[in-house]
Amino acid sequence: MKTVITYGTYDLFHYGHLCLLKRAKALGDYLIVAVSTDEFNEIKHKKCVYPYEERAAIVKAIKYVDEVIPESSWDQKVSDVLDHHVDIFVMGDDWRGDFDFLGEHCEVVYLPRTPDISSTEIKDDIRGGKGII
């Protein structure tokens, strides 16, 4: 059995998130998604629309996801990989190279993002009054 892990905030869940999770799951048998906690988002200077519990529940409901864990710090990735016996670490390719250090513990894969969609752009469109919602 191959275990895959990925990380993210998953605020304003959208089609790009779904595509990333589907492609991550296709790489293995068991997909763990680490969703960033509200406290960790504060450290990253990120403001979410939905609290951690709701974001985690949405992600857990996706059929490709087998387990959701909290992401509480930048430094937990090595211990997560070791503790969960992860075979493949997956991130979007905008992070290319940032997690190569995990290569001594597992395979590191950077997947292309879905073009023309991001939570940041959605939030900007809403704030700018472009009539999205």
Give pLDDT tens digits for 36-67: 999 999 999 988 889 999 999 999 999 999 99
User: Residue 88: in which H helix or E strand, if any?
Assistant: strand 88-92
Q: Active-site residue numbers? A: 44, 46
Alpha helices by DSSP H, 12-129: 15-26, 38-43, 52-60, 77-83, 119-127
Which pLDDT value is given to residue 14? Answer: 86
The distance from CA 121 to its chain's CA centroid, rounded to whole angstroms, is 17
Strands 3-8 vs 30-36: parallel, antiparallel or unpaired: parallel
- What domains sit in the chain, N to C, each tagged with a CATH number? 3-127 (3.40.50.620)
Q: Across the chain, what does the average pLDDT equal?
A: 90
- The dihedral formed by the CA atoms of 111, 19, 131 and 56, expressed in degrees to the nearest 10: -100
Per-residue pLDDT averaged across 112-130, rounded? 62
DSSP, res 76:
G
Give pLDDT tens digits for 16-42: 899 999 999 999 999 999 999 999 999
